[in-house]
Structure 1
Amino acid sequence: MNEFVAAIIFIIIFIIFNNLNTKIRKLEKEISDLNYKINNTPPAQTEVIHKKNSTEETSFPQQEQSPLVHYQNIQPSEVNENISTPVQKDWLAPVSDFLKQNALTIIGIFTLVLGIGYFVKYAIDKNWIGEAARAGIGFCTGAGIIITGHFLRKNYQAFSSIITGGGAAVLYFTATIAFREYHLFTQNTAFIITALITAASIILSYYYKNEVLIIFSLIGGFAAPLMISTGQSNYLFLFIYITLLNTGMLAASFLQHWKSVGWTAYIFTTGYLFFWTNESPELLSITFYLISYLIFYIFALHDYFRRNILSTSDILILALANFSSILGLLYIFDTLKYDPPIVFPLIFAAVNAILLFREYTRKSFGVAYSVFAGLVTSLITIAVAIQFKTHLITSIWAIETTLLLFIWKKTGHKIFKTFFYILFPLVMIAQLITWTEYFGTKDFNIIFNPPFITSSFTIVSIMINLYLLRNTVKETQEKSNNIFEDLITAISYGVIYITFLLEITYHISEMPWSAITSTGLLFSIYYIFILLLFRKLLSIRNDVQNLLIYLFFFLFVINTSVSTLSVVTAVLTKKLNLSFYFLHLLQWIPFIYIGYRIIPTSAFHKQKISYWIQALALIISVSCELHHSYILMVSNNLPHSYKASEHFNILYLPIIWTILASIFIYKGLKKNIQEYNKIGFVLIGLMVLKLYGYDVWQMDNISRISAFIALGIILLLSSFAFQRLKNMIRNMVDKKDKTEENTD
């Protein structure tokens, strides 16, 4: 019953296909007649002209040809214009166009292969055919599909390529199943069969001059070892085969100038090499790394030696071939403990230096010169990094990001910037792993230790990246609000901060927690201070400057109030020396400089709230600083410090607030800044509330009298100074008015 239904479905499909084919032929005839009426040209003549123009256009990239061209109306001037100004397309456009135009074909051949597979499975379940017959059907089916593609190649080139590739896929899978499942022949025989399939596919690709087909063939060729693998690691045999495959690829790409073929081979070869390196690192693999490096370097430099041109694809594969080979070779040397590991980056640097010298002697300082100079510099930097025993992946990836950004700046090809965006997060992940080396290790030297040296190379790399990004924005006059660049900038400064903070914290980790916290806050304050000090050189935007100033005041207040109090407690309990307390006083240097030099010239000063933020930080910090100093001067132990603290808060704190309030009011009157006046009077109000609401009830008579007398004198002197200042201002205004009247 099922067989009968399948036969009926097959007949219906055949009838539908035949009807559609008849309609298509009628439509083609109608189009030909219509073309004859419009152009007054017989169809045969039109076809001749079309073929002639098609021949003339073969020198142009396929993606730049228009699908509909009226050949009779093309003028010579239009042809020249088209030649001089070719249409620039995105590098993904050919792939996208191919998928759009051939999606149904690809799905169709995939479906056909599945259908054949299900049919064979059904036949096997019914015991219609034996194992040898199954393999024979598979080989015949694959060959039949390839023959069908051969007859369709003239009129349907893309369709024929996919059909032929599908036929090759059927042959590959048939050979795999015949070996792995049915055991019809040995592994060597299976490998010979798959190698012959690959060779036949490559020959057909070259004969048809079809790039799509050779890509299918290469994918099958590289997948063949996996298909016939038995789990035994015969890497020597594998990479001899891969080297022969790459040699054929190189020949085909030279003859037909197919870049995608080289990229396909590079991706598979690198994957196999990395797997071998990770699975079983041995000296033999070094030979195949060097052979592969040579093959892909020759592939990348083909156009350079022939026409002195380095395309985007060539530059990218040059960079990737250098760095992937270096990564694998250094990993082998590091795992096997061989020396010196820097020999390979220096050898590769020498190879690129020869090409750099060639450009220099020709006085050619264009793209090629910049690319080779960047490669030489990067490889020498890697050699230095490895010599200092840095972490391999972190250093290489960090240097590679800088190289990609440098090449993007010199060539303008955005693909390098895209790869930079992809690689930068990987560098940050590798850097996080590098920092974990601080935990669990207790014998690192100061500065000269692997995590810090590795981080130093990352810091140098990201600083160069920031410089290149900033200069590129200036040159192109673009806005600097790109979210990716802002995020990269923030992360880069964060990496610098964390690197030094971890190094400092690691070496003082044996000290009390209060000392670690205070030192970390002090470093944070100075780090922000340095960023603000060099804000113009670093091109820090005004909104970021404001954020940094807010953060600076917050950390300053936290360190002065909370952190320093814990240091005082540690000093009184003999856990820290008194000299450590004076270390934190260094934070007042950036506080004073920012207050008097940076804030008055920044956008932060234009906001009214800035006066309140700055004043609040000053009031809290001065009060806490004097409080901590007083406790250390009068206390010998921790219990006695509690009484001293209470005495200071009741007796001296109101006096301090009164003096500060007087200073704010005086400054507000002198510079005519109302915000300072408001701050001063608010502080006096708080002092009065505190004094009369709490302090006076805690004092003895002598302290109460002393406090009132001192506060009274301060207030009277302040009032006198204010009155005198008002008179001075009034006199200056009167003199100015009289001068203006005399002038009139």
Structure 2
Amino acid sequence: MNELWKRHWTTLVGVAFLLAALATLFKYSADQGWITVGMKLGAGLLLGAAAGAAGIALAKRGDGRRFGEILTGLGAAVWYMTCSYAGVYEGVWEPLTVFIAMTAVTAGVTAYAYRFGLRLLLGLGLAGALLAPLALRPDADHVFALFLYLLVVNAAYFAISVAKSWLEARIGAFAATWLLYAVYYMNFTYADHGWLTRPMLYASAAFVFYAIAFYAAAWREKCGFAGWNLYASFANTVVFCLWAPALLGSSSSVTLLLLAIGLLYMGMSVLVAKLGKQGKAALYAHVLFGGLAFLIGLAELGGGSEYRPLIGVAVWSGIAAIAIVTGRKRRSDALKAIGSLVWLSTGLYWFVVTWNAPRLDWFGVYVPFLNGGAADWMLLAAIGFYCARNVRYANLLRERDNDVLAHAYALLSHLVVGGLLTVQITNAADEYDWHVATGLLLSVVWAVYALLLFLWGAYSRGRLFRWFGSGVLVAVAAKAVLLDLKGEDTLYKILTFAILGVICFGITIVNQRWRDREQLDEAAKEREAAPDPEQVRDAGQPEQEGTPDREHAGDAVRPSAQ
């Protein structure tokens, strides 16, 4: 292949220039009215037939085979240009007539090239077929005829490209077709947007055709799931996705399209794993490409809606949970780390936007802890507590470091719980117009939460929770002194401070019992570590081997009774 095109790439360029000149002459003569359309069509068919016949005759001779191949390709290109002129530019041929004529020309060219292995002929014919509609851009919209024209060209040239493993035919058809799509889209103005408009239908048809064609080529060649087939398949998807926003005009439609493409490529990865023989590179490429498209689609969910922050947090929290659970099942520290980072980033984002995000009431009335915002808080907290309890990085961290990380997960999760309580109580006070001041109510809620932290610390024997609970209690005390003492009714202040005092007494009781239990545990450990006194005494006076017992020591020297 390389040697052939190194020698004859200039031939291809020369033929392209010649066809461009001929197409321009056709167009110019039509504008000037020199000759009729029928005369030009007849001249084109006769010129193509003459060039083809002469080329076939020369190809039969051994010394003129290459020149005959070039001449035959030029004749095929002239026929293609004639069909394009009649059906796409002038519109004098009906789409069915264009389809039949194109099928006949393409069948003859591909059969002849396949039979004798004329690779240059196929390239010249393809160049003429795709250059003609590019040069002959009509003033009237005859795009359906062009669609049938390109369908025949691509189907035939892809088929022979796969059968002969001639890569340039499929890559050239793919690139030129999308170029023609862009030229004709800009040549004609389409005001409508949506799934059923002609530009979107044509683009979808091209995307589906090339997705199937490149996949079939990879399967047929049994080693092509990597390399050009893979690159061209991804390029086809990228080009289609770049066109989608302009064609659809709706962010929600683009989101659905990206989700569908992501699922498509992740599904295709299963077949790649079964049929591919290029190792895991192609498999990973399909999974990553599909996953990227799917994640971009997920990130756009809820676009244009006021509920987008709630939807985004729910979606990304779900992704984090899936990654963490999958990583734990497969013992993959990388997946667990990725899921944890996604969870942390989502939590930070939620802390920033939650104060202005809508509540998303489920039952048409605000119910604390039963609404969309509360669900996001609870999901984030649940993931964090799950990580604190179950996630360990055996290959990355030591056991002591894993314990520290578990406490960090728990601490962050408790911050989420604190945010949940704050937002829900504040919203409830605003919704139901409670007479109790919100500031005083929050002080009571946070103090109760500090008590719960001390109780959890006593149960789990975690000092971190006592420190965190102490910090919450200090914050409540500072808030009460600096903020709650001014501007509120005296009765509410008295009641609030009394409740806070009772809570502090409860924390004191829990803390004291916790310390007493710690002291008992430490004493027990010391007793277990200390040696037994009897063992120490026995160890200090060891018995000597051969020494008689003191009680019977005299028997050894007492004379016998006899």
TM-score (norm 2): 0.63
State the identity as a percent: 9
Unaligned runs of 5+ in 1: 1-93, 107-161, 302-309, 329-384, 440-449, 671-675
Among 719, 722, 737, the residue aligned to 2:512:
719
Residue 696 of structure 1 aligns with an amino acid whose one-letter code is V
Cross-structure match for 1:200: 54
Distance 1:623 1:724 in 2: 28
Which of 550, 555, 558 is the aligned partner of 2:341?
550
1:627 aligns with 2:418: no
Q: Which residue of 2 aligns with 1:408?
A: 218
Look up the match of 1:418. Answer: 231
Distance across 2 between alignment mates of 1:101 and 1:268: 19
Q: Could you tell me how far apart the structure 1 residues matched to 2:80 and 2:246 are? A: 35
Which of 191, 198, 207 is matched with 1:397 structurally? 207
Check 1:495–1:420 CA distance in 2 against 1; reply closer, same or farther (3 A cut). Answer: same
Taking the aligned partners of 2:20 and 2:495, their CA distance within structure 1 comes to 104
User: Counterparts of 2:26 and 2:43 in 1: how far apart (Å)?
Assistant: 8
1:614 aligns to what?
409
Classify 1:429/1:206 alpha carbon distance in 2 versus 1 (closer, same or farther; 3 Å). Answer: farther
SS where residue 578 of structure 1 aligns? coil
> Hey, what's the Cα distance between the residues in 1 that align with 2:124 and 2:331?
43
Aligned to 2:470: 684
Aligned to 1:563: 354
Task: Specify which structure has the higher proportion of helix.
Answer: 1
Deviation at 1:457, TM superposition (A): 4.8
Distance 1:435 1:176, change over 3 A: closer
Aligned to 1:382: none
How far is 1:99 from its partner? 5.6
Residue 492 of structure 1 pairs with residue 290 of structure 2: no
Structure 2: gaps spanning 5 or more residues: 182-194, 486-492, 540-562
CA contact (8 A) 2:110 2:156 kept: yes
- Structure 2 vs 1, CA of residues 599 and 709 (structure 1 numbering), >3 Å: closer, same or farther? closer
How far does residue 546 in structure 1 lie from its aligned partner after superposition?
2.1
Distance 1:525 1:396 in 2: 36
SS of the residue 1:412 aligns to: coil
* Distance across 1 between alignment mates of 2:133 and 2:216: 28
The DSSP-based 3-state class of the residue aligned with 2:517 is helix
Task: Specify the SS of the correspondent of 1:582.
Answer: coil
**Is it true that 1:656 corresponds to 2:449 in the alignment?**
yes
CA distance in 2, matches of 1:626, 1:590: 14
Matched, 1:696 2:491: no
TM-score by length of 1: 0.50
Question: 1:615 and 1:599, CA in 2 relative to 1: closer, same or farther beyond 3 A?
Answer: closer
How far apart are the structure 2 equivalents of 1:194 and 1:494? 52
**Among 370, 382, 399, which residue is 1:582 paired with?**
370
Deviation at 1:479, TM superposition (A): 6.9
Superposed counterparts of 1:135-534, under 5 Å: 187=40, 190-191=43-44, 192-193=46-47, 195-207=49-61, 208=63, 210-211=65-66, 214-215=69-70, 217-219=72-74, 221-222=76-77, 232-235=90-93, 245-266=105-126, 268-269=128-129, 279-281=141-143, 299=160, 310-313=163-166, 393-394=203-204, 397=207, 400-401=210-211, 404-405=214-215, 408=218, 411-413=222-224, 414=226, 415-430=228-243, 432=245, 436-437=249-250, 457-468=260-271, 478=280, 488-495=289-296, 497-498=298-299, 501-502=301-302, 513=306, 515=307, 517-534=309-326
1:201 and 1:217 in contact (8 A); partners too: yes
Tell me the equivalent position of 2:503: 710
What is the distance in 2 between the residues matched to 1:296 and 1:716? 85
SS of match in other structure, 2:515 = helix
Query: 1:480 and 1:729 mapped to 2: Cα distance?
Result: 59
Q: Contact between 1:247 and 1:295, CA under 8 Å: does it hold in 2?
A: yes
Q: Distance in 1 between matches of 2:281 and 2:243?
A: 31
Whether 2:390 is the aligned partner of 1:600: answer yes
Per-residue CA deviation, residues 225-264 of structure 1 (Å, 9 max, x unaligned), is 7599696444468777755643542353244222453354
Change (3 A) 1:598 1:270: farther
Q: Could you say if the C-alpha distance between residues 610 and 471 of structure 1 is closer, same or farther in structure 2, counting changes exceeding 3 Å?
A: farther
Q: Distance in 2 between matches of 1:219 and 1:272?
A: 12
Q: Are the equivalent residues in 1 in contact too, given 2:55–2:72 (CA < 8 A)? A: yes
The amino acid across from 2:295 in the alignment is G
C-alpha distance 545-262 of structure 1, shift in aligned 2 (>3 A): farther
Deviations 1:554-581 (A, max 9, x none): 434654785377546x87xx99522486
Q: Output the amino acid matched with 2:268.
A: N
Q: What letter corresponds to residue 341 of structure 2 in structure 1? A: Y
Structure 1 residues 280, 657: closer, same or farther in 2, change over 3 A?
same
Confirm or deny that 1:645 pairs with 2:438.
yes
How far the C-alpha of 1:647 sits from its partner, in A, is: 0.8
The answer as to whether partners of 1:399 and 1:458 remain within 8 angstroms in 2 is no
The CA deviation at 1:725 is 3.5
**2:453·2:468 contact (CA, 8 Å) conserved in 1?**
no
List per-residue Cα deviations over 1:440-471 (Å, max 9, x = no partner).
Answer: xxxxxxxxxx8788667535412213435667
Q: Aligned in 2, Cα 1:461/1:493: closer, same or farther, shift over 3 Å?
A: same
Map Cα deviations across residues 636-668 of structure 1 (whole Å, 9 max, x no partner).
556x58x6321134444245235426635764x
Deviation of 1:548 after TM superposition, in Å, equals 2.8
Task: Report 1 or 2 for greater relative contact order, CA contacts < 8 Å, sequence distance ≥ 6.
Answer: 2
Describe the SS at the equivalent of 2:354: helix
Question: Aligned letter for 1:257?
Answer: G
Task: Decide whether aligned partners of structure 1 residues 737 and 680 sit closer, same or farther in structure 2, where only a CA change above 3 A counts.
Answer: same
Distance 1:736 1:253 in 2: 92
Change (3 A) 1:615 1:398: farther
Give the C-alpha shift of residue 412 in structure 1. 1.2
Q: CA deviation at 1:714?
A: 0.6
Alignment partners' CA distance in 2, 1:400 and 1:316: 13
How far 1:299 sits from its partner (Å)?
4.8
Deviation at 1:718, TM superposition (A): 1.8
Name the amino acid aligned to 1:497.
Answer: L
